[in-house]
Structure 1
Amino acid sequence: MMNVAPVGATAVQDHVALAEIELCGELIIAASAARGERLSADRIDEVLRVSDGLEGGADRDDSRP
């Protein structure tokens, strides 16, 4: 017998997983709109809304894969 959730039942949501899926979607959209082979590390950080905490345009390591 197959177990099926009752109609109207509240689904359990993993908010961290949902946030990761949303960020992946944002990266896919940015990559599809990019002119060039790859997104730069700066563009990825911009899309993911992260900051390395360095102000004033400090050098960064763009050699990461």
Structure 2
Amino acid sequence: MRRVARLRGGTVQDHVALAEIELCGELIIAASAAEDRLSLESIDEVLRVAETRAESSGD
């Protein structure tokens, strides 16, 4: 189930969409700072894939 919070003024804030936008921004910043294409490992690092996997497995 998605968590959608209503804000004052009747606007809606979608936490999942905001998180995705933040990650896309971080990828854009990393790609613009890189001299060459980002490797898969670099992309995983920017997206914090290892941290997410550790949290999911309970480590």
Decide: shared fold, TM above 0.5. yes
Name the TM tier (shorter chain). 0.5 to 0.7
Task: List gaps (5 residues or longer) in structure 2.
Answer: 1-7, 54-59
Where 1:17 maps in the other structure, the secondary structure is helix
Task: Name the structure where helix makes up a greater proportion of residues.
Answer: 2
1:1-65 aligned within 5 A: 9-36=9-36, 38-51=37-50
Task: Name the structure where strand makes up a greater proportion of residues.
Answer: 2
Structure 1 residue runs of 4 or more that deviate by more than 3 Å after TM superposition: none
TM-score, normalization by structure 1: 0.62
> For the aligned residues, what is the CA RMSD?
1.9
Larger RCO (CA within 8 A; separation ≥ 6)? 1
TM-score, normalization by structure 2: 0.68
Offset, 1:10: 4.0
Larger Rg computed on CA atoms: 1
Task: List gaps (5 residues or longer) in structure 1.
Answer: 1-7, 54-65
